[in-house]
Structure 1
Amino acid sequence: MAWEHPEGAEVSNRLGSGIVIVIAGLGLGLAALLITARHGVTEWPFVAAFGLLIAIGEMVQFKVDRSRNRAPIATSAALGYAMLRGPSLDIAPDVAQVIAVTSVATMIGMCPRAIAGLRWDIVVSNRRVLSVACAAVVFSAVVPRDLGWNGSWRHAIPLVGAMLLGVLTAGLVDALVGAGQATELFNKPFPASLRDELLVMGQIGMAMGLSGVLLAAGTSLLGLWAPPLVIVPLLLTQFAFRRFASAQRTYRTTVRSMARSTEIAGFSSPGQNARTASLAVAIGNDLGLTPARMEALEYAALLSGVGQLALADPSPGGASLLRTREERQRAAEIGASVIERSGVLDRVAEIVRHSNDPYRQGRASNSDIPLESGIVNVALAYEQLVGEGTGQSSDKALESIGLGIGAEYDPVVVESLRRVVGRGFRF
């Protein structure tokens, strides 16, 4: 139950939980391809142009955060193709042809990534096929086939409205499917998973949807001269998102390097910080924390032992619980001060500062203390009780932690720990 899996394992895990999505997407694509082959393909130049855009977009997809891959160009091109209506086309593509082109082009775009060993996710790709199919169905149901762009506002308004409705449908379908998948993968409450998916949709999905509308409107009016004009701004937007994602990866690498310093110095056992962070993230998922809070929680758990470097001697086996209350709180304060000097991890520093506060003297009477501090406190205690070399069973560890409910440990967090362990969490 780690927050981030190795790439190969991640694909495997997603296949295990998203097999229905893959079967539905591939089945729908195959059915649409057979229907299209039977009735014949219309407007081959548009099929080739949009199919190429979808395939290229799939090849240059990138990771929005640590658990989501997105292909903005592929999504915008697929939505744009689904909503073509206008004077540049003799016959608008029907729903089956839209699904067939999207499905085939997506599979073609995935092949180079798979061959090159780059990160790819067949579940996310099939989610796109399903969401675009829903958008195409809604758009076709709302807009008559003979309605197109002719310079009249009377026609333009319902067309734009239908396009926006199609984009919204695609976004909501993808968010619902993604939320269900996240709930299954990370044991996160469905409302919290849906909130996270809608947040991502608002951040990048809006840009993809509006680009799809512009692509459809421009191509319907100007023909194949329009796609380059729309795709270039989207490429710049994707470049900006990739730079942001790169900066996030740099932060993560820095945090992991700082966390390893306590292991190298002997103040924590090998892998102790990573195990604590893994459990803290599992509890955070169970409690439905937002992505931003989850990231701060993981960083805080990784860095929770940094302040121990200021102590005179390491704890035996990295067991900081063997130290006095004063030593642990002083180490937490020192660690928070060190983290604050980074200038970008103030939230993490605040979590670490209170990570050794007893619940009764801390969060129980001061709601300003982050819940994440209580999560780190419980995760660290459980890791030191059942981690490598301790030999204590999970039942014994839960019993020991349970004795401190309401005094040392936050009851809400301890109950979450029991649920997480009960679902089979293992370090």
Structure 2
Amino acid sequence: MTAPLRLVHGAAALVAAGCLALTLASGLREGGVALAFGVLIAVGELTRWGAAPGRQAAPLGAAGSLSYALLGADAGRPTQHGAAQVVTVVLTAALLGAVPHIWSGRTPTRDHLARRVLTVGFAAVCFQPLYNRGVFDSWDGPAYALLLVALLSLSALCDAVLAAALAHFRTRWPFGPLLREELHGLLGIGSAVCATGAVMALGVAVAGLWALPVFCLPLLLTQLSVRRHAAVRATYRQTIASLARATEIAGYTPAGHAHRVAALSLAVGRDLGLTGPELTVLEYAALMHDIGQLSLVDPVPAGATADLPDEEQRRIALLGGAVVRQTGVDAAVAVVVERQADPCREQPVAARIVRAVNAYEEKTRGTGPEGPLRALEELRLGTAGDYAPEIVESLARVLTQPRGRGESVPTGGGGRRAALSDPVRGWVTHG
């Protein structure tokens, strides 16, 4: 773990410990309110689903946590709980809701808990001390509602920055694209979380705790729709991966070649700052980059197309693009497959990545310990015309970057170290 990650986790642990100590010293206030919000947050954590390795999605838990942080009254009666109690209740409920996930082996990451503690603590510190001093007593109607929405939006923005920073520290991917991806997420489920948090805080202030199950129902339905959409996307990707394996089953390419190229291409794309739909297109194109070989009468030896004449490479690429178009996959994927053999300067970025990574994987196949370095040197020598220099250098950075826990370079049977292009668990995560 890097020093910045330790710093963030240490800050979150320090905040949690301080809030727990203050709450124990002063006692729990409005126990019924704390219990109701704690149950809501725990249920939200129970319904959490994995968005990607190292990332968890718990919109109901997040909305309940932020709502409790900005709660000013219960059925017209002002509350007296402070920011310390908010953090204590939220963390306790989050840990209780995580017990079944821990039991089944899906342990919540420290990043997830650190973000929750720091974001909720920020929102509570901005609101609770001022509310308890009566600063907002004269705020009513639209002004008070706008105040809650503004604080929720600011908290969500801080959480996005923190999430991007943690991902940057852990993966070494560029911070800017990671932040853009997090901000883009705020337009979807993030906006629903903020809206639900504001509505629940306002509803409880007027109608009491009965407002919690009523106003959390729309978010539950939204979460169900998002999960179904994610399941459809996962099925779609599995279908594409199955199509890509057709070349392996037919004996045109070695087993696992398409998966290795896709995994390494995604890592290079991340390093270059690609996000969202660009990564999806890149992954699908990398998985299907060799599908044109199915149209060949005589298979290419070992499926190695990087050393074929340019015209033959273009013919196979065009055949592959035609096959991809017939499958109904996004036309952008077919374009990348078709243009992976074009002159380097005329290729889109995704095609440049697939071409360089495919060549690297083919050149390291069956080589000894010096194979990866020799393959990189050959790619660097080919940057005058065949490969883009920035792609080759990005590939070199990806191959030399230290991985987080569980992301070390794998070994083959009998402890033999596998090629650097072999995928590590968690690389193919997009789409």
TM tier relative to shorter chain: 0.7 to 0.9
Correspondence for 1:33 among 12, 16, 20 = 20
What secondary structure does 2:28 align onto?
A: coil
Mapped contact 1:175–1:197 kept (Cα < 8 A):
yes
Distance of aligned partners of 1:341 and 1:209 in 2 relative to their CA distance in 1, 3 Å threshold: same
- Which residue pairs with 2:134 in the alignment? 146
Q: Deviations over 1:275-318 (max 9, x none)?
A: 21122112111110112111211111111011111112222222
Q: Does 1:75 find its partner at 2:62?
A: yes
TM-score, length-scaled by structure 1: 0.88
- Which residue pairs with 1:43 in the alignment? 30
Q: Does 1:397 find its partner at 2:385?
A: no
Mapped contact 1:139–1:165 kept (Cα < 8 A):
no
Q: Does 1:186 find its partner at 2:190?
A: no
User: What amino acid is the match of 2:285?
Assistant: A
Q: Does 1:84 find its partner at 2:62?
A: no
* Distance in 2 separating the partners of 1:392 and 1:384: 14
* Distance in 1 separating the partners of 2:337 and 2:18: 54
* Distance in 1 separating the partners of 2:366 and 2:91: 47
Q: CA deviation at 1:348?
A: 1.3
- Which residue pairs with 1:98 in the alignment? 86
- Which residue pairs with 2:97 in the alignment? 109
Q: CA deviation at 1:118?
A: 3.9
User: What amino acid is the match of 2:121?
Assistant: A
Distance of aligned partners of 1:262 and 1:184 in 2 relative to their CA distance in 1, 3 Å threshold: farther
TM-score, length-scaled by structure 2: 0.87
Mapped contact 1:283–1:420 kept (Cα < 8 A):
yes
* Distance in 2 separating the partners of 1:337 and 1:407: 26
* Distance in 2 separating the partners of 1:83 and 1:237: 22
Correspondence for 1:259 among 244, 250, 253 = 244
User: What amino acid is the match of 2:183?
Assistant: L
Mapped contact 1:54–1:102 kept (Cα < 8 A):
yes
Alignment of structure 1 residues 270-309 onto 2, 5 Å: 270-309=255-294
Q: Deviations over 1:319-354 (max 9, x none)?
A: 112333222222211222222223242221111111
- Which residue pairs with 2:385 in the alignment? 407
Distance of aligned partners of 1:38 and 1:142 in 2 relative to their CA distance in 1, 3 Å threshold: closer
Q: Does 1:421 find its partner at 2:408?
A: no
Correspondence for 1:175 among 160, 171, 188 = 160
Correspondence for 2:361 among 372, 383, 406 = 383
* Distance in 2 separating the partners of 1:391 and 1:331: 31
Correspondence for 1:373 among 322, 332, 351 = 351
Structure 2 portions without partners, runs of 5+: 403-408, 410-419, 422-431
User: What amino acid is the match of 1:78?
Assistant: S
* Distance in 2 separating the partners of 1:292 and 1:328: 27
* Distance in 1 separating the partners of 2:151 and 2:306: 56
What secondary structure does 2:226 align onto?
A: helix
Alignment of structure 1 residues 195-234 onto 2, 5 Å: 195-234=180-219
Correspondence for 2:44 among 57, 60, 73 = 57
Mapped contact 2:272–2:394 kept (Cα < 8 A):
yes
User: What amino acid is the match of 2:22?
Assistant: I
User: What amino acid is the match of 1:70?
Assistant: A
Q: Does 1:132 find its partner at 2:110?
A: no
- Which residue pairs with 1:338 in the alignment? 323
* Distance in 2 separating the partners of 1:148 and 1:112: 40
* Distance in 2 separating the partners of 1:405 and 1:308: 25
User: What amino acid is the match of 1:397?
Assistant: A
Count of residues paired in the alignment: 404
* Distance in 2 separating the partners of 1:326 and 1:282: 29
- Which residue pairs with 1:329 in the alignment? 314
- Which residue pairs with 2:144 in the alignment? 159
* Distance in 1 separating the partners of 2:115 and 2:384: 44
Which shifted more, 310-319 or 21-30?
21-30
Q: CA deviation at 1:77?
A: 0.3
Q: Does 1:318 find its partner at 2:306?
A: no
* Distance in 1 separating the partners of 2:198 and 2:69: 10
What secondary structure does 2:274 align onto?
A: coil
Q: Deviations over 1:52-88 (max 9, x none)?
A: 0100100101234566321010000001111111352
Mapped contact 1:134–1:169 kept (Cα < 8 A):
no
Mapped contact 1:32–1:96 kept (Cα < 8 A):
yes
Identity rate, percent: 35
* Distance in 1 separating the partners of 2:298 and 2:284: 24
Q: CA deviation at 1:176?
A: 1.6
Q: Deviations over 1:120-177 (max 9, x none)?
A: 434213311211111111123554543668xx8x423442233123212321222122
Which shifted more, 116-125 or 35-44?
116-125
Which shifted more, 226-235 or 22-31?
22-31
User: What amino acid is the match of 1:322?
Assistant: D
Q: CA deviation at 1:422?
A: 4.0
Q: CA deviation at 1:358?
A: 2.2
Mapped contact 1:358–1:407 kept (Cα < 8 A):
yes
* Distance in 1 separating the partners of 2:171 and 2:322: 32
